[in-house]
A and B are shown apart, each in its own frame.
Chain A
Amino acid sequence: MISKQEVKHIAKLARLGLTGKEIEKFQRELSRILDYIEKLKEVDVSKVEPYIHPIKMENIMRKDQAKEKEIEMKKKLIEMAPEKKKGYLKTKSILK
């Protein structure tokens, strides 16, 4: 069983603003889901390496160059942002 305090803590980590009612609901639901997931503890994994990725990965290099098309795309992306100024995204101040 996960506590209400823990739900609040995770919600904050995940940057989700929840109402009191939601916290109660998710406490119930996440507890049930986590109980089910406890099943994983039955498996002996002491000698097993964790899986990293479905395919063998290798580094792929390319030139660090701006492309004409990407500049076009940047304009479109910024256009869709809720707040912008002179081609930049605007946010609330980060440093006080």
Chain B
Amino acid sequence: MDLTDLTIKEAHQGLVKKEFSALELTKAYLDKIEKENKEIFAFLTVNEDLALSQAKKIDDFIAEGKKISILAGIPCAIKDNILVKDIKCTAGSKILENYIAPYDATVIKKLKNQEAVILGKTNLDEFAMGSSTENSAFGPTRNPHDKSRVPGGSSGGSAAAVAGNLCCFALGSDTGGSIRQPASFCGVVGLKPTYGAVSRYGLVAFASSLDQIGPITKIVEDAKIVFDAIKGKDEMDSTSLNSKFKIQKSKLQIKIQNLRIGIPKEYFVKGIDPEVEKVIKGAIKKYTELGAKIEEVSLPHTEYALPAYYIISSSEASANLARYDGIKYGYSKFKIQYSKFKSLLDVYLKTRGNGFGDEVKRRIMLGAYALSAGYYEAYYLRAQRVRTLIKEDFKEAFQKVDFILTPVSPTPAFKLGEKITDPLTMYLSDIFTVSVNLAGLPAVSIPCGKVGNLPVGLQIIGRAFEEEKILKIGKLLEDYELR
């Protein structure tokens, strides 16, 4: 039995039945990381000692006959923009190269309460800005399905770690598709929760009205287990909420015949790879075969989502990243020369000019431009008005249907280097995912087929706080594929 192949429940049962120990389980992953991380480069930091001592602790619990939680002893990986106390947190940036997290993010506190084993921190595009993980200051991650290709981004390290069996599950963050698109490229499940469903305390801020932390897992059931562990209101994040719509157990017994599924016509237009379209249409057909009613719906402002997203997210980023000033957070390169700076402005200009990578600089400038005197109304305010229209599009569509199915990305994983020199083309990889963040809705990427050997993900979008339902719908497809 390959221990790194197991799902969360399988690994949990193995531990409980003493088929293997937590130490053996963690060691199996650490060995695999040791062998394969050099090439895939999913992990930036591996904390072997901490992981092993945590695993030993679980074995003691089990030996004492204590009941363990479902995540106890389960090895996981954390995107390196989520703080894990006393471990480096770089956000993929040189400017935080030596930053040691002084506290645990709320999601980490929750995983630690359940005694999960944290193997290490995963690679990402710098400050989660990107769609390929090539914007990491520490080098790109490779897709385990084809190592000449990107894993997607920005949670590319987390998705590649799950797909390559370098961890049992991972956490990512999603601002415009950064969980769903890499999940799609790597053939794993990725859930972007409703805005406010999961606390953002301890997540390195990119665009605060869009960011959400969510699970990346091998199967749908695992995504539900992890989501249940990390969700909920947190006093440290005033935008976090408890789900207002407690779904009754009985309502979860989904009768596929009663389901109304919407297909937005605006998502099947020019620009989508015909092979991807074929796979997505094939997945939709499976839902029809299972008895769901498929209806065409319209989200008329879809084509404006991407430009609105880039204005809003970059504006928020330019404000959020103002904190990296060379004074509070250092950029170690200048540490010794600090006295040589001419002025305070000089400190800012040199620290930020040298510490940030190109994509981060581009977005900070785009945001500063959109917020600057004379342009605020034309760009930022207009984008926020368009955002209202996008939210209303979904509201209207959800009066007709219960779920919306779309592709996650217009293409499968592309080659390393293919899009990195052309920022605008790279932005277009997010064209099907950003609307969901603008509207604050939950969505999941479910593997639904392949183009050649490259996985393709189906995006299932639901109403706010209906994560459980979209996961159920995802599971129907997963079960169908296994038949």
A contact residues vs B (CB 8 Å cutoff): 2, 6-7, 10-19, 22, 26, 29-30, 32-34, 36-37, 39-43, 45, 48-55, 57, 60, 62, 73, 76-77, 80-83, 89-94
Docked CA distance A50–B195 (Å) = 18
Q: Are B344 and A91 closer than 8 Å at their CB atoms?
A: yes
From A53, which residue of chain B is reached at the shortest CB distance? B209
Docked CA distance A72–B325 (Å) = 23
Secondary structure class of chain B's binding surface, majority of residues: helix
Q: Are A94 and B344 closer than 8 Å at their CB atoms?
A: yes
Nearest CB of B to A8, in Å: 11
Question: B327 — which chain A residues lie within 8 A by C-beta?
Answer: 81-83, 89-91
Q: Are A15 and B325 closer than 8 Å at their CB atoms?
A: yes
Question: A42 — which chain B residues lie within 8 A by C-beta?
Answer: 304
Are A83 and B389 also in contact (CB < 8 A) when A10-B369, A30-B362 are? no
> Is B365 an interface residue, CB under 8 A from the partner?
yes
Q: Are A15 and B348 closer than 8 Å at their CB atoms?
A: yes
Q: Which interface residue of B325, B346, B354, B383 has the most chain A CB atoms within 10 A?
A: B383
Q: Are B386 and A43 closer than 8 Å at their CB atoms?
A: yes
Q: Are A50 and B385 closer than 8 Å at their CB atoms?
A: yes
B303-334 CB mask vs A (1 if < 8 Å, else 0) is 11001101100000010001001111111101
From A72, which residue of chain B is reached at the shortest CB distance? B102
Q: Are B353 and A18 closer than 8 Å at their CB atoms?
A: yes
Q: Are A80 and B99 closer than 8 Å at their CB atoms?
A: yes
Q: Are A30 and B369 closer than 8 Å at their CB atoms?
A: yes
Give the interface residue-count category, chain B.
35 or more
Question: B366 — which chain A residues lie within 8 A by C-beta?
Answer: 30, 33-34
Docked CA distance A52–B312 (Å) = 11
Q: Which listed residue (B102, B304, B338) contacts A83, Cβ 8 A?
A: B338
Question: A57 — which chain B residues lie within 8 A by C-beta?
Answer: 238-239
> Is B58 an interface residue, CB under 8 A from the partner?
no
Question: A12 — which chain B residues lie within 8 A by C-beta?
Answer: 349
Nearest CB of A to B160, in Å: 28
Q: Are B389 and A45 closer than 8 Å at their CB atoms?
A: yes
> Is B241 an interface residue, CB under 8 A from the partner?
yes
> Is B361 an interface residue, CB under 8 A from the partner?
yes
A-B contact count (CB 8 A): 164
Are A40 and B304 also in contact (CB < 8 A) when A10-B369, A48-B389 are? yes
Nearest CB of B to A87, in Å: 14
Are A37 and B353 also in contact (CB < 8 A) when A13-B372, A30-B365 are? no
Q: Which listed residue (B235, B334, B347) contacts A91, Cβ 8 A?
A: B347
Nearest CB of A to B137, in Å: 16
> Is B387 an interface residue, CB under 8 A from the partner?
yes
Q: Are A10 and B338 closer than 8 Å at their CB atoms?
A: no
Q: Are B239 and A51 closer than 8 Å at their CB atoms?
A: no
Docked CA distance A37–B427 (Å) = 12
Q: Are B369 and A16 closer than 8 Å at their CB atoms?
A: no
Docked CA distance A43–B102 (Å) = 46
Q: Which listed residue (A41, A51, A73, A82) contacts B391, Cβ 8 A?
A: A51
> Is B28 an interface residue, CB under 8 A from the partner?
no
Q: Are A45 and B386 closer than 8 Å at their CB atoms?
A: yes
Q: Which listed residue (A36, A52, A54, A89) contacts B424, Cβ 8 A?
A: A36
Are A10 and B368 also in contact (CB < 8 A) when A37-B307, A51-B387 are? yes
Would you list the 7 A-B pairs with minimal beta carbon distance, nearest first? A54-B440, A17-B353, A17-B349, A82-B330, A50-B384, A45-B385, A51-B387
From A32, which residue of chain B is reached at the shortest CB distance? B424
Q: Which listed residue (A10, A51, A81) contacts B385, Cβ 8 A?
A: A51
Docked CA distance A54–B207 (Å) = 12
Q: Are B334 and A82 closer than 8 Å at their CB atoms?
A: yes
Q: Which listed residue (A45, A55, A92, A93) contacts B382, Cβ 8 A?
A: A45
Q: Which listed residue (A14, A37, A49) contacts B368, Cβ 8 A?
A: A14
From B330, which residue of chain A is reached at the shortest CB distance? A82
The contact sample of 20 A-B pairs, CB cut-off 8 A, is A12-B349, A16-B352, A16-B353, A26-B361, A26-B365, A29-B423, A30-B366, A33-B427, A42-B304, A43-B382, A43-B389, A45-B389, A54-B440, A80-B98, A80-B99, A80-B102, A80-B329, A81-B330, A90-B327, A92-B347
Nearest CB of B to A49, in Å: 6
Nearest CB of B to A84, in Å: 10
Question: B322 — which chain A residues lie within 8 A by C-beta?
Answer: 15
From A91, which residue of chain B is reached at the shortest CB distance? B327
Docked CA distance A83–B301 (Å) = 49
